[in-house]
Structure 1
Amino acid sequence: MTLKTKITLAFATMLLLLMGVSAFMLYSLNQLDRTARNVLKDNLYSVELGQKMLSALDRMEYGANVRAPQAQPLFEKLLAREAGNVTEPGEQQAVDNLFQDVGNFNQLLASDTTSAQLWNQAVGRLRRDTYAMMNLNTQALTRKNEAANRTALRQRRYVLALLTFAVLTSLLFVLSVPEAAVVPLRRLSASIDHAANQDFTASIPVEGHDELATVGRSFNRMLVQLQSYRTSTLAELMAERNRVASIVNTLDEGLLLVDQNRRLIVVNPVASVLLAVPAAQLLGRRVDEVANENDLFREMLRHLDVSPPKREQETPLLTIAQQGEEAYYRLSVHDVVGFNQALDKNEFVGSILTLRNISEFKKLDQAKSNFLATVSHELKTPLSSINFSLKLLQNGKVGPLNPEQQNIVLTLKQENQRLLKLVGELIDVSRLESGNIQLNFQPSHVHDIVQFAADTIQLQLKPKQLRLALEVPDNLPPVRADIEKTTWVLLNLLANAIRYSPEAEQIRISATVATDGQQVQVSVQDNGPGIAPQYQEKIFQRFVQIPDKSGYKGGSGLGLSIAREFIVSQGGQLRVSSELGSGSTFTFTLPVASKMDA
């Protein structure tokens, strides 16, 4: 039997019991009402008629007939009504006696010699027979009242018995039907809790063939499939985990994985060797705890705590001593973001730190730097001699030159000057790479640096009729900078602005205090063609030149690279903001000088 059928039968039975008790109670009430109506109609009415007849007889006493002559007709009228309501045994005989007494009384009235004695005797017989009729109905009332009471008591017992049976039956259904539904549900809930805790062995005992039993069988089948799926999935996960672990362990780079709670969850052998700590002693520990014990990891953690935008601008290079030699490792930090389907959004799940050995590249770069430095120094001497010789030719000290020869010497001198400039930039690059560049830090006023650069560049503004607008307040705080290097950077930015600005336009130099109050930023804004977004970071790389529609090809691609190195070495930053067709704005920052620098 299904659970729906059980519930339906329970409610149907309770409804039938309710209808049966209600019908029996209605029947009993109708019976009592009918009995009461019969009593009122049959006996009580006769008693009321007898009382009225007695009242009429009181007025028919001897000597009263003169005062109430209508009493005799009223008595006869009431007697006639009683004759029509004879219901009890012997009542008809009493009525007949009354009619006979009325006849005798009428004869007495017809005689002329009626004495008071005869008159009172006749009225007395009428009174006696009236009392006899009333006694019959009174006794019937008493008898019927007792019978009604017995009937009511019996009906009350029947109703109580039916109500007791109905209540007990309803309680039986109330206690059994919900329990029959709740017990399997409790078993199902307990099994679901076990399944939620990855225990798929707690199946549900199935009894019967109702809906809950069907659900139980389906749930048990699902548990079996989940157990099978879990077993196969675990095997696949273990195989995949072993595969990933093999890949991670065979990497020639140091790799560490930090979860969102800042705990180390992956440390490959290379990272363990570099940190000089066994991997077992690192896994599961908080990074702050490890950093307190390990200097190398403390340096790595410093870059981990840097914000991602600033992290992209830095390329940390760590020097680690290995077997008595210095090895160079490039540190990379990447945040891992995963999609949370429950929350329907991306969330941070950890960070990956990698240490890549770039010692070979460092050696090659050092060899390149040495080569550039050597070549630059070797080229500078003959180029200087050539420049001096060309100057002698141009001055005519070794003999006059015709105009055509003068033009050739001028062209040679310009090209030699360009080569000398390129050699000078190469020497600066080699110094920057070797770290041998000397910086003379001192408190400096930005207004003076800008004014010196503006005065120096005035002659280059005239060919294009360019205007130079200065927006540098005098009350800016002094900065900690190398005046020579900073002036070189500003002149380089102004030279680029002059080169790419259209004729009769304006170049604006502005300086303000940064929002943090710790730096002063200087901006050079032009109205040139602008720089495409894909080239805005590349222009700061060495030997990189972007396509130029104006046809200029005189640059070496080193100026902005050297400028950024000069600014960064002074604790500032150099960046560009530009849109195609709207000009460019180059901005560099310098730290405000402290009292210790004064």
Structure 2
Amino acid sequence: MRLKTKITLGVLFLYAMLLLVSVLGYYYLTNLNAKARIILEDNYETLEYGKNMLMALDALSLDRRSALQRFEQQLKKQEDNVTETGEAAATGHLRTAFEQLKRDTLPPGKTIQSIRQSIYVIMDLNMQAIAGKHEKVKATANKALLYIAIISGVCFLLGFTFVYNFPGYIANPIHELTEGIKGIAEKKYSQRLHFKSGDEFGELATAFNTMAQQLDEYEHSNLARIMFEKQRAEAVISSLRDATIGFDNKHTILFANTPALQLLNMPETELVGRPAQEAAQHNDLLGFLVNRQDNAPLKIVVEGKECFFTKEQVDIHHEQERIGYVIILKNITSFREQDLAKTHFIATVSHELKTPLASSDLSLKLLEDDRTGHLTAEQQELVDSIKQDNQRMIRIVSELLNLSQVESGNIQLQPRPVPPLQVVQYALDTVKQQAAQQQVTIQTDVPEQLPRIQADVEKTAWVLVNLLTNAIRYSPRGSVIMLTVAQQDEHLLSFSVQDRGRGIPPAFREKIFERFYQVPGTHHQKSTGLGLAIAREFIEAQGGVIGLESEEGKGSLFYFRLPVSN
């Protein structure tokens, strides 16, 4: 039997019980109503007629004619309503006595007494009939109440039993199915449903058990392979030389390889499976890795030796959804040592080269002095060429020294309140000769009422000289370079250099401040590619910013901004 059929039969059963009680109640109520109506029609009306006839007799002395007419009317009604045994004879006696009263064949007193006696007999018969019928109606009502109570009680018990059990018949399989699905979701594939019914629930149980069996078989068939893959993945992670820590989306630590455990100095049992913030409360390094987002090198003391690491965070995605991330600490100690050795080497070589270069520059100046003798035109040309090369070498050595100072982190700054015009004038005096040689005009826009800047004069002037030198170098002959100083806001002062060169393509603008970088197609024999990189370091070390705006074919605008002195 289908579930729909069972529900329909259950509802029909309740409806049938309700209909049975309703029909039984209707039958007995109709029966009682009919008997009450019979009593009213047969007996109560006769009593009413008798009462009216007695009243008419009492009115004979007042209005005989009218009283006789009313008596006649009531008597006819009584004659039409004879229903009880003996009532017909008494009514006949009443008619005879009334006819005698109308004819006055007997003394009035005796006739009236006879009439009253007949009326009393009739009323007594109907009173007795009413009492008897009342007992019958009462018995019938009691019987009806008994039957209705019995049937209602039986229907109530059946209905209560049905209402109590039938919802469970529907809900219990659904509850068992829900629990079974939860078990499957928790990978408890041994879950089975046992419904003995042959309805939809039975079919559902069969389908569920088949699914659970297939999942169980699949789980066991793949369990060995999954465990093997898991162990292999753990072995791969543990064999990584870089410290690696894995997290899920809720920042729970999933794994940590051996190098990571050694750096954190924590056992795996106290780390894996715990929330990162909770574990970080007992480990400063883990707290730093979890809470800090920058990638600055970390200095960690390992076995009494200072080691340097870089932090790299890699998100893990599955089907375009982020499921976790991995933090990797790469040991860059050897690279750091090599970089430091390189910096020291550059500084040493540059320092050693600067002394003979300065000496040779002095010698060239002595050669140009007339007191040491006149030079021929060919000799003067050779001296000028050597002097230019010597100046270029001095500039390169100076840039290398500045670079080594930047890389070592030992930039020596002497910031003080400086008038912007002092920096501008120093830079203009430095590049004046170079601008004249290139036939380039430098125009300035420096208001007199500008506030002082908090800066190192030498380093700031060096940056401005570098920007002007580059502008002169890449500007066409006869062009104009615009040097502008303006107040950016109440806290910053801006220095900008606008040239009319070819401009810088958008693809190369972000790299222009990197070391040794030159825009392709613009290589210059006098450029090392270090000037802008060092300029950025100098400006940022003073709390400022440096940048550029450029458009191909319309030139470039390089600027830097420094804080205003309080």
For Structure 1 versus Structure 2, the TM-score category normalised by the shorter chain is 0.7 to 0.9
Residues 361 and 387, structure 2, Cα contact 8 Å, conserved in 1 = no
Which residue type is aligned with residue 257 of structure 1?
A: I
C-alpha change, 1:508 and 1:380, in structure 2 (3 Å) is same
1:172 Cα offset (Å): 0.8
> Mapping of 1:435-514 within 5 angstroms?
435=408, 440-447=412-419, 450-457=423-430, 459=432, 463-470=439-446, 476=452, 478-479=454-455, 481=456, 483-499=457-473, 503-504=479-480, 506-510=482-486
Query: Where does residue 401 of structure 2 map in the other structure?
Result: 428
Task: Compare 422-431 and 121-130 and name the one that shifted more.
Answer: 422-431
Q: Distance in 2 between matches of 1:282 and 1:152?
A: 85
What does the per-residue CA deviation read over 1:246-274, in whole Å, with 9 as the maximum and x for residues that have no partner?
333444x422326478887655455667x
Query: Where does residue 10 of structure 1 map in the other structure?
Result: 10
Q: Distance in 2 between matches of 1:280 and 1:151?
A: 91
1:416 to 381, 389, 393: 389
Q: State the TM-score, normalizing by the size of structure 1.
A: 0.74
1:143 to 115, 126, 132: 132
SS in 2 for 1:242: helix
Q: Distance in 2 between matches of 1:33 and 1:106?
A: 41
> Mapping of 1:271-420 within 5 angstroms?
275=263, 280=268, 283-284=271-272, 286-287=279-280, 289-291=282-284, 306-308=292-294, 311=295, 314=296, 316=297, 331-337=309-315, 349=325, 351-356=327-332, 358-359=334-335, 363=338, 366=341, 370=345, 381=356, 385=360, 392=367, 397-401=373-377, 409=382, 412=385, 415-417=388-390, 419-420=392-393
Residues 393 and 399, structure 1, Cα contact 8 Å, conserved in 2 = yes
Which residue type is aligned with residue 13 of structure 2?
A: T
Task: Compare 166-175 and 405-414 and name the one that shifted more.
Answer: 405-414
Residues 184 and 212, structure 1, Cα contact 8 Å, conserved in 2 = yes
1:221 to 210, 231, 235: 210
1:93 to 57, 77, 89: 89
1:208 Cα offset (Å): 1.8
SS in 2 for 1:152: helix
Q: Distance in 2 between matches of 1:591 and 1:321?
A: 44
Query: Where does residue 257 of structure 1 map in the other structure?
Result: 245
Residues 87 and 122, structure 2, Cα contact 8 Å, conserved in 1 = yes
What does the per-residue CA deviation read over 1:125-169, in whole Å, with 9 as the maximum and x for residues that have no partner?
233223222222222222222211111121122222222122111
Which residue type is aligned with residue 524 of structure 1?
A: S
Which residue type is aligned with residue 78 of structure 2?
A: E
Residues 417 and 565, structure 2, Cα contact 8 Å, conserved in 1 = no
Q: State the TM-score, normalizing by the size of structure 2.
A: 0.78
1:544 to 478, 497, 517: 517
Q: Distance in 1 between matches of 2:493 and 2:52?
A: 130
C-alpha change, 1:509 and 1:126, in structure 2 (3 Å) is same
Which residue type is aligned with residue 95 of structure 2?
A: F
Query: Where does residue 555 of structure 1 map in the other structure?
Result: 527
Which residue type is aligned with residue 65 of structure 2?
A: P
C-alpha change, 1:288 and 1:591, in structure 2 (3 Å) is farther
> How many residues are matched?
550
Query: Where does residue 28 of structure 1 map in the other structure?
Result: 28
Residues 249 and 268, structure 1, Cα contact 8 Å, conserved in 2 = yes
RMSD between superposed Cα atoms in Å: 4.7
Q: Distance in 1 between matches of 2:121 and 2:96?
A: 14
What does the per-residue CA deviation read over 1:100-126, in whole Å, with 9 as the maximum and x for residues that have no partner?
3344444445xxxxxxx6332233323
Identity within the alignment, %? 24
Which residue type is aligned with residue 508 of structure 2?
A: Y
C-alpha change, 1:152 and 1:172, in structure 2 (3 Å) is same
Q: Distance in 1 between matches of 2:168 and 2:329?
A: 60
1:559 Cα offset (Å): 1.3
Residues 453 and 493, structure 2, Cα contact 8 Å, conserved in 1 = no
Which residue type is aligned with residue 509 of structure 1?
A: V
Query: Where does residue 172 of structure 2 map in the other structure?
Result: 183
Q: Distance in 1 between matches of 2:21 and 2:252?
A: 75
Query: Where does residue 44 of structure 2 map in the other structure?
Result: 44
Q: Distance in 2 between matches of 1:223 and 1:339?
A: 30
Query: Where does residue 118 of structure 2 map in the other structure?
Result: 129
1:393 Cα offset (Å): 7.2
C-alpha change, 1:150 and 1:82, in structure 2 (3 Å) is same
SS in 2 for 1:587: strand
SS in 1 for 2:551: coil
Residues 298 and 308, structure 2, Cα contact 8 Å, conserved in 1 = yes
Query: Where does residue 164 of structure 1 map in the other structure?
Result: 153
Task: Compare 388-397 and 331-340 and name the one that shifted more.
Answer: 388-397
SS in 2 for 1:442: coil
Which residue type is aligned with residue 256 of structure 1?
A: T
C-alpha change, 1:464 and 1:199, in structure 2 (3 Å) is same
Residues 442 and 480, structure 2, Cα contact 8 Å, conserved in 1 = yes
1:198 Cα offset (Å): 4.1
Q: Mind listing any 5+ residue stretches in structure 1 that lack a counterpart?
A: 110-116, 292-297, 594-598
